Every structure is written in structure tokens, then in C-alpha cells.
Structure 1
């Protein structure tokens, strides 16, 4: 479950996103590309300093990316007051924009929280009746508000490729592997090798039998002389 984004010095929860949304806003050109990227793709990556980059499902609303995390939802770590957001191209799936964003945790019961959860729930295909109650009690709703010029954009990308090692996971199939029609690839290959070896053995046995018969016929002819 994500902890609430707080100021390390005061321990206070961040102000609602609506009160700080205009501060350091992205310029008109960047805002148009940002809005298009946010609305076309429901997935973004949150780059946390000192941690890995986390994928997150989101809803874009009036200059903020709304994210819900916690038990039963997508996992996210504690988010500092500022993060980097990486957006992908819907057409190619590649990196399109990298922007800085302020992190604002929305408090349950506030107008901002009600609006955000209404949009998040409406965009969910598998939402349940008690999702808002569960979100208020157990989860964290966060608004990520981009600001300033993009750090990366078309024609101005960093030299490194941003590739990272796979995240650790407890998922495993060592105790049980799903059944496959005809067996798995390695099992099929092993059976083919066994069949080929058996065929080669039978051919070799036939050749040895032929040689024995030839030797017997030669021996019989010599004895008849």
C-alpha cells in the first residue's frame, strides 16, 4: 500500500491538486502533446529517485494524472513530493515524453477526492459496488500534476535507453506447470531426440545383421569348395 505523500520536515499531507495545479504549468505546445499522450494511453511510468520505475494505470483530468494504489489495486511505493513521469506513444509503444510532476495525495471526503474517484471508477471495467468505500479506507488516491518543460520529447531524447532489470517477484511455477497439448517445447525436443536415436540404433542393428549374413554366406561357399 502506498503511503501518503508528506513533507519530510513537517509531516503534513500535500495540498489538494486543484490549489497548486497552475503553478509552473507546462507551456501551450508541451501541454497539447502532454494532453494527447495522457488521453490516448491509460498507462504511464512513475520514476522514483532511488527506486525503480513503476507502471501505473491512470485517468487524465484537467492537467493531472489520477492514480489509485493500495490493497487490491496496483502497487506503488511511497511517492516523494516530486517524481518523473514517462509517457509512451500509443502508435509505437516507445517512449514519447518525460516530464516532472508534483505529487498530491487527495484526502477522502474532499471534493477533489470525490471527483477523482468518480472518474477512476467510471474508467474501470471491473469496478465493484464497494470500490469507493474500500478506496477511502485502505487505498491512496494521488494526483500527479506535470509542470515545467518536458525533460524528453520528440527530437530531444536522452542517449541512454532507460532499460532496467526485471523487478523481483514472488511468482513461480516450479511446483506446478500448466499442461500443454503435445507437451512443452523442451519436452517435444527431447522426445524427438529419443526417436532419432532409436531410429539410428535400428538402422545400425540392420546393418550389423546384413554384415553377419554376408559373412555366413561367404563361409558356406568356402566350405563347399
Structure 2
């Protein structure tokens, strides 16, 4: 790729806490002195430790999240190669919006599934036919599941292959996480079940409730009709006794 993240990423501040020592694979942090997050003043040992953690997180998990300013956070499967996360998007592939020159990547722990690292990354769109595109698509096709067509031809004609290259110190790392929980609202979707709904044995919950209400109303109406009939009979008997006197 055009940049090597492993030469540029340095380790942020990391103090004692529940996240300390939890690497991407659940192992211990790489050695190195803590430095201030984003200071860029890390020594060789701490820079190597942060790079090792980044490589471990990227290599062990094929899923990351792309955080775009003014937009939601997008999940994306990727292939990690030479300091860059390679992703393909477009028709027949995962959806991704237009990406600005810089984004943030959120990486997870393979063991716990929790947030592990947040790093900044440069966005490089690879042009079809270039050596970088050929190498990236070869790696992506090897990792692509259930591919039934000529992926390379379709990717060149319809899809976008992007290299996300992390740089600088991680924004979040074990022992130095933001206070907010990063919750995101559900993504908007055109999916609907109003035209066709799967059949359920005995009906759906709301249908069962509606039928029960109808049965209860019918029973109540029958009880009320019986009570009215009894009252009419009592009145008729009283009238007959009065007339017999």
C-alpha cells in the first residue's frame, strides 16, 4: 500500500483498569512505556507495542466498523494486508457510503466481541488495473465467501475497492476508552413484511389476542342475554300471579 500503519501508530495512555492487558486475542499488552494519547511522543518500544496490538486486532477479526462524520457507523468485512484494511463495496457486496479522505476505524476483540481499538485511517480508493488493485482483489476474492460469479470482472465494473490505512496514535485502546457507550440507532432499511407475513401455527400474537377479545365479548353478550331473559321470566311470573288474584 502507499502507507505503512505499523511504522506510524504509537500507543496511547493506558493505566490500570479492566481493559489493561486485554489484547485482541485476550493476551497481554505488548511491552512499552505509556504515553499520552495522541501526543505522538511514543518511543520505539511503545510504538512497536501499539503496532503489534493493531496487527493482532486486524488479523484475528475480519470485521471492523467505519465511523464517518455526519453519518452512522458502518460494519465492514476486510482483509488486513501490509498495514491496510482492504474492503470491497457496491452491488452484490457490502454497502458502504462515500468515504471522506479520513475516517475512524473501530476494532473489536475476537474473544469478547467488545471494542478494543479506535484508530484514524486514510482512505485510498484503488483503481482497477493497477498493481495495488490486482493485489487487493486477489486477497479479497480468496476471503470472499459464497462467490458464484467472476468477482474480479464485476468488482472492476460495478464495485469499489478501498484501502483503509491507519495512522497516528490510537484514539482508544485498553485502559483509555471514551466515557460514552457508542450506542447507535438502528439503521434505516426498506425491508418490510406488510406485503407477505410468514404463517404461524395458531396465528400471530396480536391475532390470538384479537380472537380472545372477540370470544370474551361474545361470552359477555351471551351472559347478558341470559340475565335479561331471566328478568323477563320473573316479571312474567309476577304479572301472572297478580292477575290470578
**Same fold flag (TM > 0.5):** yes
Equivalent residue number for residue 48 of structure 1: 68
Q: Distance in 2 between matches of 1:15 and 1:150?
A: 7
Q: Distance in 2 between matches of 1:126 and 1:202?
A: 61
Q: 1:213 to 1:3 in 2, by over 3 A?
A: farther
Please report the TM-score for the alignment, with normalisation by the length of structure 1.
Answer: 0.74
CA contact (8 A) 1:105 1:140 kept: yes
Q: Distance in 2 between matches of 1:150 and 1:3?
A: 16
Q: 1:100 to 1:15 in 2, by over 3 A?
A: closer
Q: 1:84 to 1:45 in 2, by over 3 A?
A: same
Deviation of 1:140 after TM superposition, in Å, equals 1.5
Aligned residues: 216
Unpaired segments of 5 or more residues in structure 2? 15-38, 45-49
Please report the TM-score for the alignment, with normalisation by the length of structure 2.
Answer: 0.69
Q: 1:14 to 1:50 in 2, by over 3 A?
A: farther
SS, match of residue 212 in structure 1: helix
Deviation of 1:84 after TM superposition, in Å, equals 0.2
Equivalent residue number for residue 124 of structure 1: 144
Deviation of 1:51 after TM superposition, in Å, equals 2.7
Q: Distance in 2 between matches of 1:42 and 1:221?
A: 92
SS, match of residue 178 in structure 1: coil
CA contact (8 A) 1:3 1:77 kept: no
The CA RMSD measured in Å over matched residues stands at: 6.3
Q: 1:149 to 1:4 in 2, by over 3 A?
A: closer
Deviation of 1:85 after TM superposition, in Å, equals 0.5
CA contact (8 A) 1:38 1:60 kept: yes
Q: Distance in 1 between matches of 2:197 and 2:145?
A: 30
Q: Distance in 2 between matches of 1:14 and 1:106?
A: 26
Q: Distance in 1 between matches of 2:69 and 2:124?
A: 17
CA deviation digits over 1:63-114, x for unaligned, max 9?
3211001222222222222210012344444433211112222232333322
SS, match of residue 5 in structure 2: coil
Q: 1:5 to 1:133 in 2, by over 3 A?
A: farther
CA contact (8 A) 1:5 1:78 kept: no
Unpaired segments of 5 or more residues in structure 1? none
CA contact (8 A) 2:3 2:83 kept: no
Deviation of 1:215 after TM superposition, in Å, equals 4.0
Deviation of 1:141 after TM superposition, in Å, equals 1.1
SS, match of residue 6 in structure 1: helix
Q: Distance in 1 between matches of 2:62 and 2:144?
A: 11
